[in-house]
Chains A and B, each alone.
Chain A
């Protein structure tokens, strides 16, 4: 699968990592909902780190679309809150 970290780049990852990414993604959102800033940063940074270390970065010339798009690494806790609990909330897709 191809994962994009917004404003950073695209990475090709083994499909087997899907469950782990999913788990960390959920943990980040749970932390936002619980108002736990430290837990949010821990989960979010680990998520990005898994993508960067386990994935292989695509060349700029690559025109493949991403399967997964993650927020930019400097996303603040406040922004995350607006994104996931405020007006910006999008219903979960199937």
Chain B
């Protein structure tokens, strides 16, 4: 049967065929073809391991950012209760940026997780098909003349090749996703390296530039809202020593 006339399936089939060409040469001799299938399976396993490693790295980065969010929030409260609104605002701006990065990272980790699942399922199907192919190949060789066996085994190899291309497609998507995420993660690392999420009390000279950039990055209305909320929680106006002391005790618990 010819391919369906619809363009979507035509395009995807062409794409799969291109992957197939790369993965499998139907002209290979029979036993060699099985060897190549096994090699491809090994590569798939390695590919999955790389995806898992990339995901773990991003999850670690996400945990670090979570800690920064908590720390900056605490520092904003401390600064505000000590009457230093400017410092509180800076802390909240940084928290704002860290939070935005965190949300984006978490979403991408979840998407990658889904793609990894599909990749693993496709790999399992491939493994089953390769095993079936191995058995079938021996049966065919025993039953048919060499020329006839060649034809029948090539047909079976096509089915394996299609699954291999399917794994290839799943792999390609997972790798694309990890590359996008790596770019994002690098940007976060740069902010980290610049001390963006560091302890504010350790602010040295030369931080003005970072803060100006952060000011542009973070949403000022959100910072204003948070500042107002925090002020209400701390009790309006008086930023006395009692408040600061209470806050410190509160943190200890």
Contacts and interface: CB of A to CB of B under 8 A. Distances in A.
Nearest to A64: B159
B14 A25 contact: no
B7 interface: yes
Given A25-B8, A67-B1, A89-B11, A6 B166 contact: yes
Interface stretch (B123-131, B195-203, B216-224, B240-248): B123-131
A90 B15 contact: yes
B159 A4 contact: no
Contacts of B15: 83, 88, 90
A14 interface: no
A6 B169 contact: yes
Contact of B4 (A6, A67, A74, A80): A67
B16 interface: yes
Contacts of B5: 22, 92
Interface residues of A, number: 40
Contacts of B11: 83-84, 88-90
B6 A66 contact: no
B125 A60 contact: yes
B125 A9 contact: yes
B159 A62 contact: yes
A63 B132 CA distance: 8
A7 B160 contact: no
A21 B162 CA distance: 21
B128 A61 contact: yes
A7 B166 contact: yes
B48 interface: no
A67 to B, nearest CB: 5
B184 interface: no
Contacts of B9: 21, 25, 68-70
Nearest to B4: A68
Contact of A65 (B6, B115, B128, B158): B158
A18 B6 CA distance: 10
Given A18-B4, A93-B3, A63 B160 contact: yes
Contacts of A89: 11
B118 A7 contact: yes
A61 B13 CA distance: 21
29 contacts: A1-B1, A4-B166, A6-B170, A7-B118, A7-B170, A15-B1, A22-B4, A29-B8, A60-B128, A61-B132, A63-B132, A63-B136, A64-B159, A67-B1, A68-B3, A69-B13, A69-B162, A71-B8, A72-B169, A74-B114, A83-B8, A83-B11, A83-B12, A84-B8, A88-B11, A90-B14, A90-B15, A92-B10, A93-B2
Given A60-B125, A90-B11, 20 more contacts: A7-B121, A22-B5, A22-B6, A23-B6, A25-B4, A26-B8, A28-B8, A63-B132, A63-B159, A63-B160, A64-B159, A66-B162, A69-B13, A71-B8, A72-B118, A80-B8, A83-B8, A83-B11, A83-B12, A84-B8
Q: Which 5 A-B pairs have the closest CB atoms?
A: A25-B6, A63-B159, A60-B128, A90-B14, A7-B118
